Amino acid sequence: MSGVSVRRPRAAANPAPARRDSPGRRAMRRFLRHRLAVFGLAVIVLFVLGAILAPLIAPYDPTATSWSLIRKPPSLAHWFGTDENGRDVLSRTLWGARTSLMAGGLSVAAALAVGVPLGMLAGLAGGWVDALISRITDAMLSVPFLILAIALAAFLGPALENAMLAIAISAAPIFVRLARGMAMEAKATEWVEAARALGNPPWRTAVVHVLPNIVPPLLVQATLAIAEAIIAEASLSFLGLGQQPPAPSWGSMLNAAQRFLSQAPWMAIYPGLAIFLVVLSFNLLGDGLRDALDPRAQRR
């Protein structure tokens, strides 16, 4: 028909492709929904900042004594009171955070550096190598963690460095066992078999294809192990096998406070509360990371 225009329908605009969430973003979203884990992380950050800034925010020298201030209760001048030598408990608690957090972090880092390679070697190599490493690990795991740490620290001698070494040796078998199991599971997967078929050397297969897939459970276990290491360091210092006086440590502060629980309870309350909060926070953080990094929750 002449003079009649036919309007053709417009082609629909191509919709923008849906933006996929990366696994890291989904894990972060699940972690942020875990309120207790976020609370634990916030408390840990506060303690870490307090430990780092202790030289700036501590009101007094943690080792300075004053015979006129012996066992004074909390006041505006000394918020946490003073100890049996007139030292400020708040300042010693802040500086003691340095000792405990450093001991926990460095000892677990050393345990990871030793345990993960040995565990991966046992899981991927198999044979007599696996049998030897596994039997030594089983023998060490048969002794309770704290008992083994105390025995090693007593053998090495009383010092913070020796206590950290004892804690690292005691914690390493846990990571050996975990890394071995995860490596054996990863060894049977298709991508590891494909990497071997392509001619990758064993070290490249372990580092590039196996290690990245076992990091999440190792991260969760490391977080929980730091809490155990902090308790172990406090226990060793309490027994005189860790940080040596007059250097501040939460464990040694509790040791000194046990003689004055009725006269000066604040000497034990604040370092004990600090240990409780830090250990609780690391456990809450570990629970949150475990839920956030759970492979079964990747589609949530």
* Residue 62 φ then ψ, to 5°: -70, -15
pLDDT over 60 at 12, yes or no: no
Tens of pLDDT, residue by residue over 59-71, are: 999 988 888 889 9
What's the confidence (pLDDT) of residue 257?
92
pLDDT over 60 at 134, yes or no: yes
Cα distance between residue 172 and residue 162, in whole Å = 15
What's the confidence (pLDDT) of residue 170?
93
pLDDT over 90 at 42, yes or no: yes
What's the confidence (pLDDT) of residue 216?
86
> 18: pLDDT confidence band, cut at 50, 70 and 90?
very low
> 108: pLDDT confidence band, cut at 50, 70 and 90?
very high
Cα distance between residue 153 and residue 147, in whole Å = 10
Domain ranges, ordered by start, for the chain: 27-52+86-294
pLDDT over 70 at 8, yes or no: no
Cα distance between residue 99 and residue 251, in whole Å = 10
| Between 163 and 292, residue with greater pLDDT | 163
pLDDT over 60 at 15, yes or no: no
Cβ(283)–Cβ(102) under 8 Å?
A: no
> 1: pLDDT confidence band, cut at 50, 70 and 90?
very low
Residues 6+ apart with CB under 8 A from 208: 195, 200
Tens of pLDDT, residue by residue over 215-270, are: 888 999 999 999 999 999 999 999 989 888 888 999 999 999 998 988 899 999 99
Q: What is the number of other CB atoms lying within 10 angstroms of the CB of residue 24?
A: 10
Tens of pLDDT, residue by residue over 148-178, are: 999 999 999 899 999 999 999 999 999 999 9
> 296: pLDDT confidence band, cut at 50, 70 and 90?
low
CATH code given to domain 27-52+86-294: 1.10.3720.10
